[in-house]
A and B are shown apart, each in its own frame.
Chain A
Amino acid sequence: EVQLVESGGGLVQPGGSLRLSCAASGFTFSSYWMSWVRQAPGKGLEWVANIMEDGAEKYYVDSVKGRCTISRDNAKNSLYLQLNNLRAEDTAVYYCARDHNDRWDERGLDYWGQGTLVTVSS
């Protein structure tokens, strides 16, 4: 059974930093791209970033570029999101999701974790 479990959220002051983690199990983690998607309270979904199977390629939405780093440790079956210089508008539930393993057979985000809440407030 595929499982994705996020952790690391919490309350942080504006300008602060946070590192989110996602522990994956039930599939060959190193064979899949992985994504982070966030959802502000009462709002819609926003794709944040994704990372290639071996970490060689990474892509970000403009609103987090320069403040956010996605990374992974395939030996630990773990995905990470480092958030720096946090702003109030970064307040959201952050989900990790399994992305694709073949660009020409891509099917969307087929498994999601339960999410971890990041609150940016003084």
Chain B
Amino acid sequence: DIVMTQSPDSLAVSLGERATINCKSSQTVFYSSINKNYLAWYQQKPGQPPKLLIYWASTRESGVPDRFSGSGSGTDFTLTISSLQAEDVAVYYCQQYYSTPRTFGQGTKLEIK
């Protein structure tokens, strides 16, 4: 199984500042034949289901604000929120869908400082 490890476990950032969350996979999630990383990021607010933010490591889902961006390839990935808004308080998860079982990171709780 591919193990996904996020860092940090929690993060406090001031409004308008940058937030960065890291995700590392225990093996590559890059499909060289199609030049895509099978890595997604989700946002989960309290009492709500997760919401897909980013797929293929760096492609924003339709309707997701452009302050959210994803980067990385192979085994190391980053989710960046360029200017934190109050509504971004949530838990963020990375997930690999390169192989079964699909595995999630443990989550990063993002709060306002």
Chain A positions near chain B (C-beta within 8 angstroms): 35, 37, 44-47, 50, 59-62, 95, 100, 104, 106-110, 112-115
Point out the residue from B40, B100, B102, B104 that lies within 8 Å of A107, measured CB to CB. Answer: B40
Interface check B52, CB cutoff 8 A: yes
**Supplied contacts A45-B50, A46-B104, A47-B95, 9 more A-B pairs, CB within 8 Å:** A44-B93, A45-B95, A45-B107, A59-B100, A100-B97, A107-B59, A108-B97, A110-B52, A114-B49
Residue B56 at the chain A interface, CB threshold 8 Å: yes
Contact B49 A95 (CB under 8 A): yes
Contact of A50 among B1, B55, B102 (CB under 8 A): B102
Give the number of chain B interface residues (Cβ < 8 Å): 26
Which of B91, B100, B106 has the most A CB atoms < 10 Å from its CB?
A: B100
**Sample (15) of A-B pairs whose CB atoms are under 8 Å apart:** A44-B91, A44-B93, A45-B95, A59-B101, A61-B101, A95-B49, A95-B50, A104-B34, A107-B56, A108-B42, A108-B97, A109-B42, A112-B50, A113-B49, A114-B49
Q: Give the shortest distance, in Å, between A109 (CB) and chain B (any CB).
A: 6
Contact of B104 among A44, A106, A115 (CB under 8 A): A44
Bound together, the chains give a CA A62 to CA B1 distance in angstroms of 10
Contact, CB under 8 Å: A109 / B52: yes
Any A CB within 8 A of the CB of B18: no
Known contacts A46-B104, A59-B100; is-contact A108 B49 (Cβ 8 Å): no
Tell me if B20 is interfacial: C-beta within 8 Å of chain A: no
Complex Cα distance, B49 from A115, in Å, reads: 7
**Is A110's CB under 8 angstroms from B61's CB?**
yes
| Inter-chain contacts of A47 with B (CB < 8 A) | 95, 101-104
Q: Say if the beta carbon of B45 comes within 8 Å of chain A.
A: no
Q: CB distance B101 to A44 under 8 Å?
A: no
When the two chains form their complex, are residues B93 and A45 in contact, meaning their CB atoms are under 8 A apart? yes
Q: Is B51 an interface residue (CB 8 A)?
A: yes
Q: Give the complex CA separation of A104 and B97 in angstroms.
A: 11
B38 at the interface (CB under 8 A from A): yes
Bound-state CA distance A62–B95 (Å) is: 17
